Structures are given as structure tokens and as C-alpha cells.
Structure 1
């Protein structure tokens, strides 16, 4: 689909509607993304509109990316960090008619996948996310700003669940009784996390926080990992955020929208590939505590996402779009089943971790 953007947006980067072709691309639900093809250049660019409903402080994103880009440019100049292209006025983002935009270089001969089709892809993606964190091991994560406050804060998510439970209707509470009980019974995930949270051996790191497969560029021929993209959620966090999100999204062949819970299984070969890829970069810098929490990272993120879906259902589906009344409840059931499967396979999964830590 060919589109014409507001002339002011293009002008900010030195283009006009007459000298570029614009096409909307991508499957992301948060930011609108366009491919810009200047007629007089052998280059293409990505132009993104920043969703300020989700990212209330776009300046925080710009500041974080600039600080990281400067650090990597100085210390690891060969690393392909996709940093924004400055406007004609030297700004990290363009503010046009009250909306924020940014332009990024388009990386040729690469693809991003919406669905994993083999373990090698999981390995390459996990390796790329681990590599970025490893390269930033000595970067002071405390200098970065939170781009989404409380994004992976399980304490906050449990508090929101309890609040929703106290305010919801009897009807919704009745429909979700089994899931409510499951959530309460598994609060030990939160308690266990809190027992480590303040430990010196459990440091804050620079984390991506959204490690689904579509946020990695792969070579379109070899499927080797090239670099990480969609960097809006880079901010301080625990390593469990990235590795746990990979487990949540890589290990099961079906997404959280699958309602046949019998299909929700752990693919051991994908788990092994993910662990191998991540530890190939991170094994040398993980602390002893972090190594002990590798499998727990999956439990943490899966439980948190299940809570978020359940909370939204109890609140009347006000956050996650739902195509039918009980979809967020079904999503919670799906994630609780995935959490159960992780526990069922724990011995085999821990053996894989132990082998790759050796």
C-alpha cells in the first residue's frame, strides 16, 4: 500500500512527497512503521510514529538510545546498533503536529520473522539479545530512564490483580474462579523473586524487555542473526526479563491466542537452542545467582503475563484488545497452562541448562 505522509514529516528529514515512495510495513501493534524509498538514493529508511499512549515520554527513548549508541560506537564500533538518523535540525526525533517520529536505517538483505519455524532461528535470536546485553555489561544501567514504568514489575502486576479482584463483578469473578485460584496458588513465584530482588548478585542490566522473534533481524539467506531492533523498551532491568520473554514466546508453537490448551506444550529442542544461543554470549558475565535463576526467568515472565491477561479480563478488557468477551480470560488460561508445562518438564530443562553452563 503506497501512502503519502504529511509533508512536514518528510520535510523534517529533507524529503518531499515527490522524491520518496512510502509504504506501510510491519506487524507491530504499538508503533506505525513505514518504509521510505528515496528515488535518488540507493538507500532505504524506516520511519516510525511513536505511540505516546504507550510511551508517555518519547524523550526518554531518544536519550536512552543516544547514550547506548555513543557507548557502543566508542567501545564496539563494529557492532550494528540501529540508532536513529538525526533530523535536519540535529534532533533524535521529529515533533510534528504534536506527534513524535523517528527515522532509522533500513538493513538490506535481512528479514524479521513473526513465527519461529526451526530451532536455529531461536538460537540466533537468543544469541543476538545476549550479545547486546554482554556488550553493555560495563555500561551504567542506572543512567537510563524507564520508558514504560513498571513494565516487568511483578510486584506491581500482582497488586493490580488484587485491586481488579476486589473491584470486579460477581459474574466475572465466577467465570474466572479457576484462574483466580491458580494465580493465588502460584504467588510463590513473586515471593521467590522478592527473596533475590535486592541481592548484590542479582544486578540491574541494560535489557531489551521485548525479545519476541520479530525484534531480531536475520540474514535472509542464512538466517544468521544480524542485530536487535525495536529498541524502545531498552531500559534497566533484570536478566530474567529478556530470557524469560524468549521462553514465553519461543518454546510453544502456538501463541497466547490458542484456545485448545492441549496444544500448549514445551518444545525441548527450541528450549535447548534458546539456552545455547543466550549462554554463548552471557555465560561469562552471569552471576551465580543469575545462573540459578535461568529457568525461573521463564516462570516469572509467563506468570506475569498470565496475571496481566487475567487482570484485564476482571477489569472489563480495557487494555488488551479482545475479539470476544472472554478472550483475555482464554489468554490467561493459555499462559497458566504454559507455566504448568514448564514445571512438568523442569528436570529435563534444568539438565539442558546445566549442560550448557558446564
Structure 2
């Protein structure tokens, strides 16, 4: 759909409503995204409004992207890193009426997918996320600022779950009894992670943290990976954040909104393609401890997401948008089923990992 934006936002980047066409695009739930097509040129741009209820310090995003962009320009100038286009005043973002906006170059001849339909797409996506981590292997992740503090901190998510459990009504507890029991029974995933967390060969790396398929651009003809996009959540983290999120979102043909749990199954060809793609870039970078934890990364992220949906249900649905009253509980059920599928296929999945290593 075509629409108008505040003239000040466009002026900050040197455009007016008269010399540009504006179209809202994208399926993301966090930031509003627009395609800008200047009438006098072929080049197009992406304009995004940063959601400050999620990203409370937008400057941290700008600082992180500049630091990474500068490093890649110096050490890997051939890599396509989608860095922001400065405002006419040379700033990384425009602030207009307490809202933050940034402009990015539009990459022609590419497509982003909302759903995986072929294992080769999982391979290409995993390869791209692995490539970015590999190229940033010698970058000092400690200089990056957390753009969402505690985003993939399972300890924090478990604490939030316990707080919600203690504060919720008996009626909510009764509705979620099975899932509450599941959450408590799987706490050993957190304890297992803690037993590794102080190992010297389990480093913090530069992680994307949101590795769903729509955050990779593929060539629109060949479907080869081109680059990674939506870089707001780039910050320090463990490798399990990226690989685990890929397992959570690539392995099942259905999303967390699927209520028919019989459909929640792991697709082994997609797992194999994803592992091959990721390790094609990261095999020689990962430490022995990280290699031990490849399959665990899926358990960690899926369990964490199940906790988050369950916590939101117990809290009265204050974070995730819902279309009906028990949707967050259904999402939690979905994720616990996916977790059980990971365990049920563990021997075969580990065999694929061992073969790829």
C-alpha cells in the first residue's frame, strides 16, 4: 500500500514527498518498514522506524552497526554488510518527534522468504549467518552494547517465569498445569548451560540473535544466499543463540502458532542442510566445547521460547500480540512439543552433526 510519512523524516535524508514514492513492506512485528523509490533514480532504499518499546536505546543499534561496518570495511571489504545511509547531517539515524528512523540501501535482485520450502534454502540461510560470525571472529564483541539486555538469557527468563507463576491466578495455573510442569521439569537445561558457561573455550561472539529465514536475502533467481539483514539484535552472545534459533524456526514446517500438535515434527533433511550450511563457515572456528553443544543449542532456545510464551500467558498477555485468549498458552504447548521432538530424534540428529564435523 502507498502512504505518506512525516515530511521531516524524508527531509532528514534529503527527500520530499514530491520526489519519492513510499510503500509499506515487510512482515516483521517489531519495526515499521517502508520502501522508498526516488522518482529521479533507479536506486531504492529501505526506511525503518525503530520500535523504542523493544529497543529502548536506539543509539546502541547505531553504534554497534558502525563499529561492525568499520571493521568489515577494513578487514573484509568484499562482504556485503547492509549499513545505514547517513542523514544529510551525517548521523546514523534521524530523530523526529521522539521517533527514530534509519535508512538502508535496498539490495536489488534479492528476495526474503517468510517460509522455508526447500532444504537448500535452510543451507543457504545457515551459511550466511555462519559467514557473518566467521568474518567477525577476531572482532572484539565486548565493545558492542546489548540492544535488548537479557534477550537470550535463560536464567533471566526462568526467573521471570517463576515471578509470573507466583503472581498469577489459580484459574490461570489450572489452565496451564501441564505446561507449568513441563517448564519446571526441563529446568535442567538451564543447569546444564550453567555448567558450561564459565569454560574459557565457550566465548562470547558477535551474534545476530534473530536468525529466522526472513532475515536473510537470497538471490531471486538462484536462491543462493546474499547477505544477512535486520541487524538490530546484533550484540555479544553465545553461538547457541544463532544456531538454536535456526533449529527452532527451520526444523518444523509449521510456526509456533500451529495448534494441531500432531503437525509439529522435525524435518531431518532441513536439519542436515542447516548444519551443513552453518558448519561450512564455522567448522574451523568453533571450539571443542561449542562443538559439544551444537544440538544443545536447539534445546536451549526452544525451551527459552516455551518459557517466554508461558510466562506471557500467566502475566495476562502483556508482551506477545494475541488473536484469542489462550494463544500464548497454545504457543507454549507448540514449543514444548517441538522440544520433545528434538529429544525424540536426538540420536539421529547427533549422528548428522558428528558426520558433518
Compute the TM-score of the two structures, normalised by the length of structure 1. 0.99
CA distance in 2, matches of 1:298, 1:90: 41
Who is 1:145 aligned against? 145
CA distance in 2, matches of 1:10, 1:264: 44
2: distance between equivalents of 1:181 and 1:160? 16
Aligned pairs for 1:148-297 within 5 A = 148-297=148-297
Instruction: In structure 2, list runs of 5 or more residues that go unmatched.
Output: none
Q: Give the length in aligned residue pairs.
A: 357
Alignment of 1:91-170 (within 5 A): 91-170=91-170
Which whole-Å CA distance do the structure 2 matches of 1:341 and 1:327 have between them? Answer: 21
* CA distance in 2: counterparts of 1:314 and 1:160, whole angstroms: 10
CA deviation map 1:221-246 (0-9, x unaligned): 00000000000000000000000000
Distance in 2 of aligned mates of 1:81 and 1:297? 26
Report the CA distance between 1:172 and its aligned residue: 0.3
The runs of at least 4 aligned residues of structure 1 exceeding 3 Å deviation read none
Q: For residues 102-159 of structure 1, give each alpha carbon's deviation from its aligned partner in whole angstroms, at most 9, with x where no partner exists.
A: 0000000000000000000000000000000000000000000000000000000000
Deviation at 1:318, TM superposition (A): 0.8
Give, in whole Å, the separation in 2 of the partners of 1:2 and 1:312.
Answer: 35
Segments of structure 1 that go 5 or more residues without pairing to the other structure are: none
Structure 2 residue 309 is the aligned partner of structure 1 residue 309: yes
Quote how far apart the aligned CAs of 1:73 are: 0.3
3-state DSSP of counterpart to 2:86: coil
CA distance in structure 2 between the partners assigned to 1:187 and 1:268 by the alignment: 26
Residue 4 of structure 1 deviates from its aligned partner by: 1.4
TM-score, length of structure 2 as denominator length: 1.00
Give me the whole-angstrom Cα distance separating, in 2, the residues matched to 1:57 and 1:100.
Answer: 10
The one-character-per-residue Cα deviations of 1:283-304 (angstroms, maximum 9, x if unpaired) are 0010000000000000000000
CA distance in 2, matches of 1:316, 1:8: 38
**After alignment, is 320-329 or 208-217 more displaced?**
320-329
Give the superposition deviation at 1:51.
Answer: 0.4
CA distance in 1, matches of 2:225, 2:32: 24
Give the alignment of 1:13-28 within 5 angstroms: 13-28=13-28
Distance 1:40 1:164 in 2: 55
